[in-house]
Structure 1
Amino acid sequence: MTIGNNSLYKSPMPILNCPPLEAHDKDIEEVYRLTLNNPPTDEDFLSHIEANKQYPPGKECVASSVSVYKNKDDAEKLKKKIPAYKRHGFIAVGPIMAKSGVVLESTLSSHVDWWLYKGQKVSHLFRVK
């Protein structure tokens, strides 16, 4: 694996060309994020890599992003599948602001990969409804 060195982003970039060229900065009014805290904390917005969570082989770039959903139903379905969130989790809602990082929106679902820029804190923008 070739290690990337993109110093713009909060999470370590494990490979070159991450985030992908198709990722762009964009305002999205409302996205949903699974959290373990209410209210959400900065730890709720760590990438898998930052949080030392496991991820599938070959998914290093995605693992360096923060996953959010544009559709609350999609977040609720995921919450039911992951034991830690199923028992003790919350769904927080908040905005993505273009200045916070770049996003890549799925063409198959409401999933969004969000690569946060260094120094960006976003937990204060989210609330559990």
Structure 2
Amino acid sequence: MTYSKHFPDNCPPSESDIASGEFYRFIKKAHERPHQKDFISWRQEFSDKECPTGLSECQACGVSIYSSLDDAKNLSLRIPRFKNMKIAKALLSDGLGRIKHTPSRNGKSHHTWWIPEDSEPCKVFELIDANQEDSTKT
């Protein structure tokens, strides 16, 4: 897999896993379906800024996803910027990059996902009605 040239050396990290499993991602509410721009990393969005405290340059090159719908729902209730977003779900599989479990104070199921160049993650994710989804998975 080929990753963006802006990724630092050894990124994704060797201790990351092949992207696999069911995950959730926040999507801008204005969209009727996920768009490619919903999968832009912090580093792509803020190329001229230093990484926030506690975030490595490699992690800044990935995007946040959650393995628990309950975590995503709780974030949307507690954190203002997530209140105005929708939740999308995908089943990730081989060929969709690498992931690493990177729990945060805001979500124990948080993962960082490094998306290969020329991928179209917007075609894998679909918007869900979080209130209708089975949230028993962790």
Change (3 A) 1:107 1:76: closer
TM-score by length of 2: 0.74
Task: Please tell me the root mean square deviation across aligned C-alpha atoms, in Å.
Answer: 2.4
Unmatched 5+ stretches in structure 2: 129-138
- Provide the residue aligned with 1:20 in structure 2: 13
TM-score by length of 1: 0.79
Q: Is contact 2:25-2:89 (8 Å) kept?
A: yes
Q: Is contact 1:33-1:93 (8 Å) kept?
A: yes
- Provide the residue aligned with 2:127 in structure 1: 128
Q: Is contact 1:27-1:98 (8 Å) kept?
A: yes
**Which stretches of structure 1, 4 residues or longer, exceed 4 Å deviation after superposition?**
none
What are the within-5 Å matches in structure 2 for residues 65-80 of structure 1?
A: 65-80=62-77
Unmatched 5+ stretches in structure 1: 1-6
Change (3 A) 1:91 1:62: same
- Provide the residue aligned with 2:36 in structure 1: 42
Change (3 A) 1:80 1:102: same
Instruction: Encode CA deviations 1:8-40: one digit per residue, 9 max, x unaligned.
Output: 214721x32221110121421x21000103311
CA distance in 2, matches of 1:98, 1:104: 14
Change (3 A) 1:113 1:128: same
